[in-house]
Amino acid sequence: MVYASGIRLPCVPHLYKSSAPSGFNGDRRSTSLSFLLKKDSFSRKIFAGKSSKEFDASPLIITASEKVLVPGSQSDDPSAVTDQLETPETVSEDIEVRNGIESLQMEDNENVEIEDHGPVTLQGKVSSEKSEVKREVGPRSIPPPGAGQNIYEIDPNLLGHRQHLDYRYGRYKQMCEDIDKYEGGLAAFSRGYEKFGFIRSDTGITYREWAPGAKSASLIGDFNNWNPNADIMTQNEFGVWEIFLPNNADGSPPIPHGSRVKIHMDTPSGIKDSIPAWIKFSVQAPGEIPYNGIYYDPPEEEKYVFQHPQPKKPKSLRIYEAHVGMSSTEPIINTYANFRDDVLPRIKRLGYNAVQIMAVQEHSYYASFGYHVTNFFAPSSRCGTPDDLKSLIDKAHELGLLVLMDIVHSHASNNVLDGLNMFDGTDGHYFHSGSRGYHWMWDSRLFNYGSWEVLRFLLSNARWWLEEYKFDGFRFDGVTSMMYTHHGLQVAFTGNYSEYFGFATDVDAVVYLMLVNDMIHGLYPEAVSIGEDVSGMPTFCIPVQDGGVGFDYRLQMAIADKWIELLKKRDEDWKMGAIVHTMTNRRWLEKCVAYAESHDQALVGDKTIAFWLMDKDMYDFMALDRPSTPRIDRGIALHKMIRLVTMGLGGEAYLNFMGNEFGHPEWIDFPRGDQRLPNGQFVPGNNFSYDKCRRRFDLGDADYLRYRGMQEFDRAMQHLEEKYGFMTSEHQYVSRKDQGDRVIVFERGNLVFVFNFHWNSSYSDYRVGCLKPGKYKIVLDSDYPLFGGYKRLDHNAEYFSSEGWYDDRPHSFLVYAPSRTAVVYALADEEEQPLNV
């Protein structure tokens, strides 16, 4: 991920100036501010007024500097991985010890007895009159740690770093033993949301918060007129503050649904009011900058009830990366409801089987793309309510789409007022203290993964989204930053294994990743786990039981970097061997998500592939009733070829950022004002415009524009993979990468792919090798008129193979390969079933 440059906005220190009486009397309901929202129409006008407190103005940095991950994932040495996906090359040792165990044991059952206040009803459960569809999964249990030795059989190069890897696995096993001993197991430990935050029971509400640095604490909000002396909390020996609020006399809850709440603390840094760390919803009042925590517990009859079962995990994963807020064709912040009704059916029609949603966790700065999280358990209120998000996910499941969440556990917002930073007034609460706890490039805080309560918080956070919202898995952001103390900054990974397994490795962070993958796969066997790693860490996608980190997929980030590198050059300078090597340069038995471009390449300051190819010509020459230009013709042809070769060779899954399927013009530019950086540099804003913070789906749908052809090709490409499942086939063979002809030929599954990248040479009777004999037919042709091509191929033609070795293949057949085209051939008996697009 990449961030736009940061903005320093004026904020207020949340210092309470008491004007209320010292005690609180009367019905708590009398001062509440209702927050009841309709499911299908989300209003931004949430509050009638501001908080009753007064504020002193002072600046607070609430965003990040530019986030840049080191380009190039694995080694650029072609010997590291062959075109046929054989094994590559190879990381060393040590790091710290866990913090002392600070926890309270909790059983892993549905109704938890807490003190004497009655059973805790899990938030989100429905009343007996409603029937909620449950996830269809196997046994929900986390297997005990294995021997962790299979990694050495998978990759013998790891033997040279056995000391580090065995130490890492030993740390993981010890952590599992400690969690079993003190928490009753990982399944119970990962349900911290049933102990911390607001817990509703039949008799009232219990609120708990871990804040060991605080000297005193009280719960304040609309319900008690923000009186810090009304509801004083008590602290136990582990630094956990607690209070129980009994129901009102009429049985109603002591804190009304939709009212604002905060925790008031006397800390080493002074008096502060903070949004509870485990808050489930937070909103920004009109005219205010800091967010307010919201007690969200609607009546049973208003809670959304899931109606549709979660889809089974597909063998081939085709991911549509999306941002709900910018998914409208209009210059507005879109809603969960509109995304559900308008965008999900589009994703289904295009042939994708998963949607990956960005910016789900609440983030106070919109332009952070959701990566500066302030409230980890709260869905972004800009787009609607928690129930609106559940409705979106349920609709996706009805359509057969998996819903993956872009989850951020690599860092947190630097905000003090509405985030976790300095929560209890100390620098090292949830984060490392000092420079180790600060990411200088992102201007954000870095978690201490060796802290017991931080582990509880993050593990519970992952489970919360799977359990409460029924997400089908995660894309973990910024994993490279987590795994190394240098965070991948100013480091060029060459593939040498000592770069991965040494003193720069944050073993605590890697152990956390092993634990969270253990939890995900043990309790939710159908869930998907994807990690964003640019370093090429070995064992990344090997199961934890075998000694690996446990992800299902790695994002193949080097591919997008390679395309940007090539697009800065002339066609004549493209190397076929370099393209093939980048596509196939991945570790044996470790699956990758391939993509030509993601949201990173669409941000302001960068260019999408379409814009690199066609630039300003896109403004004037995309209408079909106007003559094209050589730049447009070249751009459309190469746009299709780049995407198909990436899907065909690049990995076992594929990802596309919304709008790029039709070559979305221009860039993404979030609304922002002018700013002056700390070094004095002036950065002009865009007058807080949303014009370039939207997706012009209407361009791809318009049959009078050339965008339509690129969209139809992408659609056909997805449906081709759905029919043949070539991305997950074990058979992949590159038979030709001819630099002179600019031709690449490879087999994936039972298909033969032929790419002619030459700018003006077409080849008649061009022989291509194949594994299986028989009659071949065209099943996908980038030059087809529907896709904006010139119809230089006859789709009724039949191609018969002949015996004899060619390009190390036992059979071959002759084709016509027009310039700048990609054509896919299949055996005729397999092609007989129509491709429904």
Q: What is the DSSP letter of 31?
A: G
Q: Could you read off the pLDDT of 503-534 as tens digits, one per residue?
A: 999 999 999 999 999 999 999 999 999 999 99
Q: Give every CB contact of residue 367 below 8 A, 6+ residues apart in sequence.
A: 3, 4, 7, 63, 670, 671, 672
* Cβ atoms of 190 and 460 closer than 8 Å: yes
Whether the CA torsion 161, 162, 166, 167 is positive or negative: it is negative
Pick the CATH number of 191-295 from 2.40.430.10, 1.10.1040.10, 2.60.40.10, 3.40.50.850: 2.60.40.10
Active-site residue (options: 443, 499, 532, 597): 532
* Cα 743 → chain centroid: 35
Comparing 210 with 681, the larger pLDDT belongs to 210
User: How far is residue 122's CA from residue 193's CA, in Å, rounded to a whole number?
Assistant: 9
pLDDT at 298: 96
pLDDT at 607: 82
532 is catalytic: yes
Q: Could you read off the pLDDT of 386-401 as tens digits, one per residue?
A: 999 999 999 999 999 9
User: How far is residue 479's CA from residue 247's CA, in Å, rounded to a whole number?
Assistant: 44
Buried residues in 757-778 as b, exposed as e (16+ CB within 10 A): bbbeeebeebebbbeeebebbb
pLDDT at 18: 34
pLDDT, average across residues 571-584: 96
Residue 835: pLDDT over 70: no
Buried residues in 486-503 as b, exposed as e (16+ CB within 10 A): ebbbeeebebebebbbbe
Q: Which two tokens stand for residue 433?
A: 């203290």
600 pLDDT band (50/70/90 cuts)?
confident
Nearest to 35 by CA among 266, 244, 221: 221
Cα Rg, the chain, nearest whole Å? 28
Residue 487 gets the label, from left (phi > 0), alpha (psi -120 to 50) or beta, of left
Q: Which two tokens stand for residue 226?
A: 């923000």
191-295 shares its CATH topology with 733-827: yes
Q: Which two tokens stand for residue 165?
A: 């890897």
pLDDT, average across residues 305-325: 96
Architecture of the domain spanning 733-827: Sandwich (2.60)
Q: Which helix (H) or strand (E) holds 697?
A: helix 697-701
Domain boundaries, the chain: 191-295, 733-827
* Cβ atoms of 404 and 356 closer than 8 Å: yes
pLDDT, average across residues 639-652: 97
Nearest to 477 by CA among 546, 402, 557, 543: 557
pLDDT at 120: 31
Residue 96: pLDDT over 80: no
* Cβ atoms of 103 and 456 closer than 8 Å: yes
* Cβ atoms of 413 and 270 closer than 8 Å: no
477 is catalytic: yes
Query: Which of 358-372, 392-406, 636-650, 763-777 bottoms out in mean pLDDT, i.e. has the lowest?
Result: 358-372
Alpha helices in 380-440 (DSSP H): 386-398
**CA angle 71–77–82, rounded 5-degree value:** 110
Q: Could you read off the pLDDT of 527-537 as tens digits, one per residue?
A: 999 999 999 99
Active-site residue (options: 222, 468, 477, 669): 477
The pTM of the full predicted model, rounded to 2 decimals, is 0.84
Q: Which helix (H) or strand (E) holds 715?
A: helix 707-724
Q: What mean pLDDT value characterizes the chain?
A: 85
User: How far is residue 70's CA from residue 745's CA, in Å, rounded to a whole number?
Assistant: 31
Q: Which two tokens stand for residue 77?
A: 């040495």
pLDDT at 788: 95
Helices 557-567 and 630-649, axial angle in degrees (round to 10): 160
